[in-house]
Amino acid sequence: MDFAKQIVKALEVPHTDEGVSSGLQFVSSDDLLPVPIEERTWTAFSYVAFWGSTSINVSTWMITSSMIVLGMSWWQAWLVIWIGYGVMTPFIVLAGRPGAVFHVTFPVVNRASFGIFGSLWCVFNRATMACIWYGVQSSIGGSCVLVMLRAIWPSVNNIPNTMPLSSGTNTRDFMCFILFWIVSLPFIWPPVHKIRHFFTFKMIITLFACLIFMIWCIVKAKGVGPIVKQPATIHGSELAWAMISGIGVCISNMITLTTNAPDFGSRAKTPSAPVISQFWSIPFSYGLICLFGVIVSSSSQTIYGETIWSPVDLLGKFLDDNPSNATRFGVWFIAFSFIIAQIGTNISANSVSAGCDLTALFPRFINIRRGGYISAIVGLVMCPWNLVSSSSRFSSYMSAYSVFLSAIAGVMVTEYWFVRKGHYNVSDLYVTRKGSWYWYNYGFNPRAYAAYVAGIAINVVGFAGDTGTPVPIAATQIFELSFFTGFGVSGIVYYILSWMFPVPGSGGVFAEIDVSGYEEQRMASCDEDTNSKDGSTEKASSTV
């Protein structure tokens, strides 16, 4: 029995306050507490670098392709990109505000809305999404590794396959996936407040590589290609709904980052650091990368007689037919930059998010670093190449999760901005006692769950249509607006229920304050500890 206790003790994460009872260790840990002052290092430029880094990846590069295939012209598709990401930017700022002001992560902010224990379901949903996306982005990263290795050793492309057909992959592709997966592991290790430097590095090198790639393609095609000159093939209401559908694609791509906005907001040096910087950097970053994608793909139509939307596939084409050494070096450098891009996206959107979420599920045994490595392991064992092989199945799965997350975000934003109006009780976010602000009914907030279900319900019929079931056209159109309908319905229902059944701390004038004075108490405690140590040192010196 003592041996088992020793093993459990060894598996526990270090706690600054070793006096915390074992009961509270299930709702509190160092990574769940407000971020210490010395770790609040993210300035406005850090958020510019973060979004510039996050936007540069293969998925973003290809996002305009679906819109042009639907019949839009390139400038209409590009306009949709600006609208879609521009519309999501205020929601990211609104959702991340509690993190920037009170320096707490998404799982803790979610407790304020859903309750100490009620938040666990929401956190589990977000952690699942992050782990799945980690595997998907790693699978794309593996294809970048293949192109980079081909540029060095062309024979890599001819590695014989020894894996069965049922595996869904082959020896060559699996080897490249594992190489990317292994190379990514060290980047999970640094703490969140320090990885801003990696985002800055990634933004510089990948933006430079994308610019070279675009210029290279324009030179090879002797122009920007026919897609840029191609008019729209749809008009009127059909064009309007196609644009709405395109905006929905942008929103689905951002909903996960919206819910976990407090994770990075908690590292802000000042509450204003993430505001203006994000308002312009998000739409600009995604708009710029999508423009690169349109021009490069348009040039590929002239070069090869077919439109190649994936930059990785186009780089692979450059390596066919005995390329020169200069071409091989250029492909190597661009493929290398895309590998850096995929690693950075996995950190910003997936490993850190999964780490924060898993910390809340098992705070006694998991911290952000361990959670990040767990997401990497899940991303490996889920065999992501099987998931992305069926684009319709993957799209339907992601659409379903977007519906769930939009309802969660609607409750959280309404709770902070309209119900409690910026008032927080930070101390009560870490206690499990009756009468605390976030205890509600045995740790669950029934108002939040009623609103959450309402936000999902309005999109259920449309989701059934997305999976192939015949449904009315109105339901399909509602589903294309699933973020706004889910967010709006859940927010309105939550506000009404909170007005009918008030919660502690609701109402009053809007003011972003912590009524518990947690920060002041914490600083006073640190000062007392310092004075105590100084006093002990002086006493020891006088005795000597």
Which range has the top average pLDDT, 164-173, 276-285, 472-481?
A: 276-285
Give me the pLDDT at residue 538, please: 45
Of 409, 415, 417, 416, nearest to 486 (Cα)?
409
Give me the pLDDT at residue 297, please: 84
Beta strands per DSSP E along 53-155: none
Q: Which amino acid is at 175?
A: M
- Given a cut of 60, is residue 341 above it in pLDDT? yes
Give me the pLDDT at residue 540, please: 39
CB-neighbour burial class of residue 470 (10 A; exposed 0-12, middle 13-18, buried 19+):
exposed
Within 8 A by CB and 6+ apart from 401, the residues are 125, 128, 129, 256
Beta strands per DSSP E along 87-229: none
Task: In whole angstroms, give the CA distance from residue 508 to residue 527.
Answer: 33
pLDDT tens column, 87-97: 999 999 999 99
Confidence of residue 293 (pLDDT cuts 50, 70, 90): confident
Q: What's the whole-number average pLDDT of the chain?
A: 86
Under 8 Å between Cβ of 142 and 176: yes
Other beta carbons less than 10 A from residue 23's beta carbon? 9
Work out the percent of the chain whose per-residue pLDDT is above 70: 90
Name the phi and psi angles at 345, rounded to 5: -65, -40
Q: Which of 414-423, 444-453, 516-525 has the lowest mean pLDDT?
A: 516-525
Give me the pLDDT at residue 525, please: 64
Within 8 A by CB and 6+ apart from 25, the residues are 12, 15, 363, 364
- Given a cut of 70, is residue 530 above it in pLDDT? no
Confidence of residue 149 (pLDDT cuts 50, 70, 90): very high
- Given a cut of 60, is residue 17 above it in pLDDT? no
Sign for the CA dihedral angle at 148, 141, 198, 47 comes to: positive
Q: Which of 200-204, 230-234, 279-283, 439-443 has the lowest mean pLDDT?
A: 230-234
- Given a cut of 80, is residue 391 above it in pLDDT? no
Mean pLDDT in residue range 38-62: 89
Of 214, 261, 205, 213, nearest to 49 (Cα)?
205
Other beta carbons less than 10 A from residue 502's beta carbon? 12
Higher-pLDDT residue of 368 and 321 is 368
Mean pLDDT in residue range 137-150: 93
Q: Which of 46-60, 386-400, 454-468 has the lowest mean pLDDT?
A: 386-400
Confidence of residue 380 (pLDDT cuts 50, 70, 90): very high
Give me the pLDDT at residue 20, please: 45
Under 8 Å between Cβ of 187 and 180: no
pLDDT tens column, 422-450: 999 999 999 888 889 999 999 999 999 99
Task: In whole angstroms, give the CA distance from residue 182 to residue 176.
Answer: 10
Higher-pLDDT residue of 523 and 378 is 378
CA distances from residue 207 to 184, 286, 327 in whole angstroms, order as listed: 20, 12, 19
pLDDT tens column, 203-228: 899 999 999 999 999 998 888 878 78
Q: Which of 161-170, 184-193, 376-385 has the lowest mean pLDDT?
A: 161-170
Mean pLDDT in residue range 456-480: 81
- Given a cut of 50, is residue 542 above it in pLDDT? no
